[in-house]
Amino acid sequence: MTRIAFIGAGSVVFTQGLLADLFGFDDLGELHIALHDIDPERLRTAASAAAVIATELGARPTISAHLDRRAALEGCDFVVNIIQVGMNDATRIDFDLPARYGVRQTIGDTLGVGGVFRALRTFPVLRGLAADIAAVCPDAWLLNYTNPMAMNVWYLSALGVRNVVGLCHSVHWTMYDLSELVGVPFEEVRYLAGGVNHQSWVLRFEHGGESLYPALDEVIRRDPEMLRRVRVDMYRRLGYYPTETSEHSSEYVPWYLPHDSEIERLRLPVGEYLRIVEENVASYEKTRDAVKAGDPVPVEATMEYAPQIIHSIVTGAPRTVYGNVVNDGLISNLPSGSVVEVPCLVDALGVQPTAIGVLPAACAAVNAAYVNVNTLVVKAALDQDPRAIRQALMADPATAATLTVDQIWALCNDLVVAHSNLLDPELRAVL
């Protein structure tokens, strides 16, 4: 029997999608789905939805629901981490306080002020999770979806979690969209991407042995509106297409968000994630009400890697996935020890990252700034060094292009106070 824990299962919509994929496999053998959340209502909703999905797909898993995390983890083979620490209230703080200082953010979950504080409030929970895993399922694969991806995976690895990989669909959907743009069936496109999460680069984009980049250039040439996308702007200047959406990509560089004119030119949706948060709440409530009422819930397959990885490890069927893992020889011109995103082989042995060598210099330079921030945030947590939080934001490209150092320190002071109850005590210091 294969036992899979969902930590933060109350992110019901996401849980639904993953379960739909899992229950869609017919060769996984017996499954035990152990759901955990700290919110009883959300946990109940998740469990009900899981049962409904199983029924609709004709699967017969064991489903258990646990308010106690360690109970959920007991004896697990896989742990899917989809927690969101502080939920929407914390997210609003991440946007509102920086906005008062003039810092613009769109999604705010990866780098920048939002990403840094999301990491800092997630780390204490990850520390508990790591301790539980060490105690009751030390060999389990921890499939992390929680952002900020790179910092979380780095911190979990530093805590000694043996088998951890961070998963994100951005490479997949980028390639899907690019294929559509150039009019080639996605299945026929061959691609290689690599870099850091939400800022990888399409290193190869080919069809029938030929690069598709000229075709993309032609598409851009024909439609000047294409130039009003951040990722197209980055592609034209750096030579490689970035693997995140334009609003998201804009946050990790100093070039766009600080300028009013670029907000306009590139139609950047400042505060976008606050709107998404509202939608997520609405989606959740719809599911909650449906399961309460005994109505059917949507069962839509995704393309997420977690179910695929579980399938490959259980059955031995090899697959290629993109994973976020510690850079131990994988990308030679990004810092050793940082967390990078590379193609991974997954088969019965688990997720095995491939070494992709040297990134193009301009891409590596952009990634290097991203890694700097990660390094300092992880250091802040490992060394319990509140000064490193400020240093992280001084190194953050978009923040540093907007604020003076005094403002950065003042904003940090405001944020450690506002998030105080979720932070490690040492990191609440006002400097």
User: Which is closer to a second copy, CB of 42 or CB of 229?
Assistant: 229
Footprint (CB under 8 A) of a second copy, residues 302-341:
316, 318-320, 328-330, 332-333, 335
- Are the beta carbons of 31 and 58 closer than 8 angstroms? no
Footprint (CB under 8 A) of a second copy, residues 13-72:
none
Least distance to a second copy, CB of residue 363, Å: 9
Work out the number of other CB atoms within 10 angstroms of the CB of residue 355. 13
Query: What is the C-alpha separation between 141 and 128, in angstroms, rounded?
Result: 16
Query: What is the C-alpha separation between 313 and 25, in angstroms, rounded?
Result: 13
386 Cβ neighbours under 8 A, 6+ residues apart: 380, 416, 426, 427, 428, 429, 431
207 labelled ligand-binding: no
User: Which is closer to a second copy, CB of 158 or CB of 401?
Assistant: 401
Catalytic hit among 36, 66, 169, 311: 169
User: Which is closer to a second copy, CB of 47 or CB of 403?
Assistant: 403
User: Which is closer to a second copy, CB of 166 or CB of 397?
Assistant: 397
User: Which is closer to a second copy, CB of 40 or CB of 357?
Assistant: 357
End-to-end CA distance of the chain: give it in Å, rounded.
52
Least distance to a second copy, CB of residue 268, Å: 13
Is 169 catalytic? The answer is: yes
Footprint (CB under 8 A) of a second copy, residues 75-134:
none
Least distance to a second copy, CB of residue 354, Å: 4
Q: What single DSSP character describes residue 169? A: S
- Burial class of residue 277 in the structure, from the number of CB atoms within 10 Å of its CB (0-12 exposed, 13-18 middle, 19+ buried): middle
Interacting span for a second copy (CB under 8 A) from 64-72, 86-94, 172-180, 187-195: 187-195
190 interacts with a second copy by CB under 8 A: yes
Footprint (CB under 8 A) of a second copy, residues 408-427:
409
Query: What is the C-alpha separation between 430 and 424, in angstroms, rounded?
Result: 13
Please provide the DSSP assignment of 211-243 as one string.
ESHHHHHHHHHH-GGGGGSHHHHHHHHHSSEES
Q: Please, what's the largest Cα pairwise distance for the chain?
A: 60
| Binding residue (CB under 8 A) for a second copy from 352, 384, 426, 430 | 352
198 labelled ligand-binding: yes
How many residues line the site for a second copy (CB under 8 A)?
64
| Binding residue (CB under 8 A) for a second copy from 98, 391, 411, 419 | 391
User: Which is closer to a second copy, CB of 281 or CB of 405?
Assistant: 405
168 labelled ligand-binding: yes
Closest by CA to 361, choosing from 157, 203, 197, 226, is: 203
Distances in Å between the alpha carbon of 277 and those of 88, 259, 272, 420?
7, 25, 9, 22
- Are the beta carbons of 257 and 398 closer than 8 angstroms? yes
366 interacts with a second copy by CB under 8 A: yes
Task: Quickly tell me which residue has 């559509």 as its tokens.
Answer: 180
335 Cβ neighbours under 8 A, 6+ residues apart: 327, 368, 371, 375
Judged by the rule CB under 8 A, the positions of this chain that interact with a second copy are 139, 187, 190-192, 204, 209, 233, 237-239, 253-256, 258-259, 261-262, 316, 318-320, 328-330, 332-333, 335, 343-345, 347-349, 352-357, 361-362, 364-366, 368-369, 372, 375-376, 379, 387-388, 390-391, 394-395, 397, 400-401, 404-405, 409
Which of the residues are catalytic? Answer: 169
- Residues of each annotated binding site for substrate: 147
- Residues of each annotated binding site for Mn(2+): 168, 198
- Residues of each annotated binding site: 147, 168, 198
